[in-house]
Structure 1
């Protein structure tokens, strides 16, 4: 096995998928500590992982369109990598990769390649069905002769972010964080159902806090949840940054959320996740380390909306249909909350 001098990783988005790349970075660093790693990453996503030690970051601003691509190409002009790990199959990422020069261009297997992906790579990861996204990303080191045998994040959290989180969530009260909004609207649960679970946790003596980003969609969802709550939670919507959210998550015992970036951020800091899955398969995109606390209605959704069982549809299929999240009942979520509380010794 030949140690490579330089590797470029291309995975620009989204937040959850970018967290899945971090263990691969750790695997490469452990095996080849002297290999120069360059990561082309999205502008927002860099705010989460851009301080990983030993990695050079090149920012891709997708909102800038072609100018954003030209900026990346300009930053890498005159450079040639031993390998490019092209970990994103979207057309925009495939076009972006054209301007990155590399001897070896590792991409997805034929089944997962799309949007001209096969034209911009010359090697492929092993073809496997039924993988979690993190394991698929981890397999990008296999054509290089390595194997990801452990999963480690250790995403840096600045002291000031920890200090801010302590101010918002002082003491050691058991805490339920609720991040109710996915960027995919059809993955979102009803506000009144979130509120019912939050009221239940508050009645059990837990501190409950609502979190979310500054977008209008997230503010609208937060306001609807707050209006339905009988017991007013702490509202931190729009007040944090990605690093501050990581710090908040590290102080919580449980996160309630649909399939979203915060789910994977929580998993990365070891916080248990009560994930809500009907539109997506938790075995593919749920919290990697521990999915025991998730509510899984994916098979029921497949049967209702597609007329097939989950095992009969292509791996990774999204069932983002209107009403699909209504398959998840409040009682089922409360049952998972209670099970997690018992496991934590907080019942």
Structure 2
């Protein structure tokens, strides 16, 4: 088919999911370098991807409520796109999509659609079960006649972010970054268990650093971890920006943490991820490139809390129940840390 003259992508959040959109952007740019791409993205998320070359960004500030919707409508007034890729099914995003005038409005298949998603689209991606989120997002190019066969990020990292990260993590000491807090509190592991693994890594000669955002909940989690540590780690909580975090992750050998944005950022720069999965399925939302270092207790959680194995519950089900992360013990995480260290030649 002929290349579209313009495509609008709508995926405003969250950090991990926005990271998953970048390979789709690369696929579209490689196939159709002359096609104008416009991406409606969240205010915070734009700080991570807003300097992707060849993409126009329109910011949606969800905290602004209706004013945020009106701002997007004003920014797109008088414009029409050949296609809209509506990659977010929440009601707010479905409403937001009405600000986009497009001949082709491509959305999710019926099984993955919700919140009146079907009313704002006129085409659907192929219906598939068992896909990773990144592959589902990548399939949005298929109704346009393309296939995502390569996954490439190359999210720009400014020189000043690299310089800052080098100042925090100087030299070549093997480093594990620990991002203990998810925005979903029931995905968080116990602080004392993080501390036990961090102490083990420190005893093996690794540099250990805590990372996290500036929110009160992330600060409280970091403080609880610090209190439980026998070997004081470097505490970088609240000190970075998204670009600085990306640079930190690129300098580290391993990231330890739950299913959250930093996991996918680490994966995008090729850093191994020791993901902690019980509340969510790593095959759907774990680190895309390599899940060998993850601890996966999702099936055990399904059996305990839902009474069925993971193969018998709907794909993508969240098992965010109190105590679910306690299914992951320290020994299992230490074992994956040691396996990753051996693979790196650092055991």
Separation in 1, partners of 2:264, 2:119 = 31
TM-superposition CA deviations, 1:109-146 (whole Å, max 9, x none): 00000000000000000000000000000000000000
The whole-number CA distance in structure 2 between the counterparts of 1:2 and 1:87 is: 23
> Residue 156 of structure 1: CA displacement?
0.1
Q: How much has 1:282 moved relative to structure 2?
A: 0.1
Name the residue aligned to 1:55: 55
> Counterpart in 1 of 2:151?
151
Deviation per residue, 1:239-288 (Å, 9 max, x gap): 00000000000000000010000000000000000000000000000000
- Per the alignment, residue 293 of structure 1 pairs with 293
> CA offset at residue 99 of structure 1?
1.4
Which residue of 2 is the match for residue 162 of structure 1?
A: 162
Equivalent residue number for residue 66 of structure 1: 66
**Equivalents in 1 of 2:116, 2:123: separation in Å?**
14
Between the aligned partners of 1:124 and 1:196, the Cα distance in structure 2 is 47
What do residues 192-244 of structure 1 show as CA deviations (whole Å, max 9, x unaligned)? 00000000000000000000000000000000000000000000000000000
Partner of 1:326: 326
In 1, the alpha carbon distance for the partners of 2:257 and 2:39 equals 28
CA distance in 1: counterparts of 2:55 and 2:260, whole angstroms: 25
Counterpart position of 2:108: 108
Task: Give me the whole-angstrom Cα distance separating, in 1, the residues matched to 2:117 and 2:267.
Answer: 30
For 1:3, what is the secondary structure of its paired residue?
A: coil
1:243 corresponds to 2:234 = no
Tell me the SS of whatever aligns to 1:303.
helix
Q: TM-score, normalised by structure 1?
A: 1.00
1:1-347 matches, cutoff 5 A = 1-347=1-347
SS in 2 for 1:34: coil
Taking the aligned partners of 1:71 and 1:182, their CA distance within structure 2 comes to 30
- For 1:110, what is the secondary structure of its paired residue? coil
Q: CA RMSD in A?
A: 0.2
SS in 1 for 2:115: coil
Deviation at 1:104, TM superposition (A): 0.1
